[in-house]
Structure 1
Amino acid sequence: MLQCIFVLSDSGEVLLEKQLTGHRVDRAICDWFWNQILTQGDSLKFLCRVADVLSNYLDGLNEDLIKDNFVIVYELLDEMIDNGFPLTTEPNILREMIAPPNIVSKVLSVVTGNTSNVSNTLPGATASYVPWRKTDLKHATNEVYVDLVEEMDATINRDGNLVKCEIYGEVQVNSNLSGLPDLTLSFANPSIFNDVRFHPCVRLRPWELNQNLSFVPPDGQFKLMSYRVKKLKSTPIYVKPQFTSDSGTCRISVLVGIRNDPGKPIDNITVEFRLPPCVTASDLSPNYGSVNVLADKTCSWTIGRMPKDKAPSMSGTLVLETGMERLHVFPTFQVAFRIMGVALSGLKIDKLDLKNPLSRPHKGFRALTRGGEFQVRS
């Protein structure tokens, strides 16, 4: 049973407070939780679900979005929790009850004075024994699409050695199926998973027995599961920075190339690093792409798609503050990229079965990998 929810900023400030029972919890408890690791599994899972719903509604989750949408956040918490117990947590159902924020609704609330976004009618799933799905759903074309969306987190030390490399992934489903479909999704290599987390629609018993995902899907888009694959041994690209410092200046050279060819084009490549306060950049020039130096001394090198005929490189001069002979603190490089059609974890979907279909559905599968916290230390 939950007694309260506090939403904190990155600095620990209480942005939002929601008392859920008659027993009031003092804000001072936030100071303790801010410095502790939460160990209550059920409560933590529900809080993760709350974060997913808010992110789905607000198209992100940060301090500014919460401050701009206080009313909607409070309304969502009212519907998701009943006297301290989880109630409705499915975004598709909540959207029928509470309208997502948009410019039109904000203008109307100012003109009419009505700030409530709560619908006067019950959602269609109220009469269904499957709480995340309406009854008697009908689609002109039955179709279901499954996407594997992955982010690679990696840390490479200054010697070029891979210190950490892991994948955080999601199985995202877009279901437009009539009736009450019962799906089973199986993987060719489920043993690679280190951690998994499921949507409430997933039946746990089939997964425990043979690692199959058996579920009745919500209608529309939803995250079926998330997973983590640890201890990968290689990255698709490399970034090699080199600094030569002497007499108040420092020459910088950065080389980018393919380390392990994924078999698909690598695009949306950017390499960023922030200069120390006592350093300014001069004549940074790449042989491919473009470089921008921002006001906070962040140097952003946009490469785009990896060329086939040459390895992108960038060179230039860093001017040190008067009195400094050498650069003593070297920047960390943040690398971003995208690979369509490849799941770098190696995860493969075996098949997707539909029991008792009203008609033969169209099924599609895609994969995408992006660079997450990809750091190269220099």
Structure 2
Amino acid sequence: MVASAIFILDSRGKTLISRNFRGDVPIDIVSEFKSKVIHAEDDSKITPFLRVEEKGVTFIHIRHANIFLVAVTRKNSNATMIITFLYKLIQVFTDYFKDVHEESIRDNFVIIYELLDEMMDFGFPQISESKILRKYITQDYRVSESASSLPIAATNAVSWRNEGVKHTRNEVFLDVIEKVNILVSGTGNLLRSEIVGKLMMKSYLSGMPNLKLGLNDRLQFEANAANGGEHRGKSVDLEDIKFHQCVRLAKFENDRTISFIPPDGMFELMSYRLNTQVKPPIWIDAVIEMRATRVDYVVKARTQLKPRAIANNVKIFVPVLPDVVAPSFKCTSGKAKYAPDKDAVVWSLKQFKAGRDAVMRGHFSLPSIGKDQERENSTKRPITVEFEVPYFTISGLQVRFLKVVEKSGYNAAPWVRYKLISGDYQIRMTDCFPSCDWLL
């Protein structure tokens, strides 16, 4: 990848920050981007990549909040690498400024120029880890004692970690966090089911440790079997795997072993996705009955978790008509309240154990005059559910081992936790009472 220049523009196309790294493009070249992208009449055909043949340049851009990040190149560069670098810039800016938008760019332009100079040299990416950058570029402008020397990590093969890291206790924490996205039709059919997971790691290890992580990945099991090994238990098919740069990809491709030297502190080691049919952890049956001056709601929730699993902080948002008054609720478990700002009933259950059922009944009064179209549209909004289940993964993913090896030979304590949380979890309602036993 070779980038000639980087521009940060506001939503109107005005240049906030510009850095010309190679001097082979004029500084006003960005006007071509403004006219063809920002001021374009038809934005339906705009892509992240724009080639301007008459100028001999290619623009690669991303949009974040109310700013554009634009890279310009004259070379036959790797466009995917450049766009990845732009996203990395946003990540570093977020670590420094929390919120990245036009105002924060204006307020921190001095540090942004310093970051650009450290992160790219003559159009080639250099240091991209904010933990390393923070040691040499500080927001309070204090000069670091080692600022006169080049960071060791910049010239080291392990650019994400400094040498000589020391901790009094050597520990590593691994959190397996899965988010489940569900869409259920009003007839009870599962329309969409997806699991999105990530492995978050907190590393407090001295020296330059080597870590090896084993999962019950099906391809890893097959690789072990091909080498004469054995495996027992359930395996999972991981899709769309994305690793932190510390993972040795060649090693993973050969034998599916996740081997790496971790950054110090917290980072996302890996993310994955499973597009598979799963049993919804919390199932909702909900129906409404419309009358002239009243509407009745009956909602039943039941858990479909494994034994001993517990869903915590469950919130069920049941949409209601915007003009209802005089709410009244009765719950077999938890508490329900009317949230007029959301046009919904919020049913909260602090804990919901596996195999349990709960029912919420509610009714509202309606004004004698109402808009039928608005009422009909309001009943079509789905129920949404929020929850978290500790010590549980819905995909069945398990950490088989997590080994720490360091040349000094210290003993490290690895800790592994699991958690399932709700993502885009929607269940559509039925608009009239069916003959269901649980309604009696």
Please give the range of the TM-score, normalised by the shorter of the 2 chains: 0.7 to 0.9
Change in Cα spacing, 1:85 to 1:307, as seen in structure 2 (3 Å) is same
- Aligned-pair identity in percent equals 25
Query: Quick check: 1:181–1:216 contact (8 Å CA) kept in 2?
Result: yes
Q: Give the alignment partner of residue 209 of structure 2, picking from 181, 186, 193.
A: 181
Q: Give the alignment partner of residue 335 of structure 2, picking from 280, 289, 303.
A: 289
Change in Cα spacing, 1:355 to 1:49, as seen in structure 2 (3 Å) is same
Matching residue of 2:376:
328
Aligned counterparts, 1:60-75, within 5 A: 66=104, 70-71=108-109
Count the aligned residue pairs. Answer: 359
Matching residue of 1:113:
none
Q: Which has the larger radius of gyration?
A: 2
Q: Distance in 2 between matches of 1:80 and 1:273?
A: 48
Aligned counterparts, 1:249-264, within 5 A: 249-261=294-306, 263-264=308-309
* Residues 113-139 of structure 1: per-residue CA shift (max 9 Å, x gap): xxx588674356356442111111222
1:187 positional shift: 0.8
Q: Distance in 2 between matches of 1:213 and 1:15?
A: 45
The one-letter code of the counterpart of 1:289 is K
Q: Give the alignment partner of residue 168 of structure 1, picking from 196, 201, 216.
A: 196
Q: Give the alignment partner of residue 387 of structure 2, picking from 329, 333, 337.
A: 337
Is 1:372 matched up with 2:423?
yes
Q: Distance in 1 between matches of 2:285 and 2:103?
A: 37
Q: Give the alignment partner of residue 269 of structure 2, picking from 195, 216, 224.
A: 224
Deviates more, 1:77-86 or 1:89-98: 77-86
Aligned counterparts, 1:86-165, within 5 A: 86-99=125-138, 121-122=146-147, 125-126=153-154, 128-165=156-193
Matching residue of 1:109:
none
Matching residue of 1:27:
34
Query: Quick check: 1:185–1:214 contact (8 Å CA) kept in 2?
Result: yes
Query: Quick check: 2:292–2:368 contact (8 Å CA) kept in 1?
Result: no
Q: Distance in 2 between matches of 1:57 and 1:220?
A: 16
Query: Quick check: 2:90–2:100 contact (8 Å CA) kept in 1?
Result: no
The one-letter code of the counterpart of 2:210 is D
Q: Distance in 2 between matches of 1:286 and 1:47?
A: 53
Q: Distance in 2 between matches of 1:13 and 1:212?
A: 48
The one-letter code of the counterpart of 1:45 is T
1:56 positional shift: 4.2
Is 1:280 matched up with 2:279?
no
Q: What's the TM-score once normalised by structure 1's chain length?
A: 0.80
Q: Distance in 2 between matches of 1:261 and 1:198?
A: 30
1:299 positional shift: 3.6
Query: Quick check: 2:207–2:406 contact (8 Å CA) kept in 1?
Result: no
Q: CA RMSD in A?
A: 3.4
Matching residue of 2:260:
215
Report the secondary structure of 1:243's partner residue: strand
Matching residue of 1:303:
349
Q: Distance in 2 between matches of 1:165 and 1:65?
A: 39
The one-letter code of the counterpart of 1:259 is Q
Report the secondary structure of 2:324's partner residue: strand
1:199 positional shift: 0.9
Q: Distance in 2 between matches of 1:118 and 1:241?
A: 62
Query: Quick check: 2:385–2:426 contact (8 Å CA) kept in 1?
Result: yes
Report the secondary structure of 1:311's partner residue: strand
The one-letter code of the counterpart of 2:158 is V
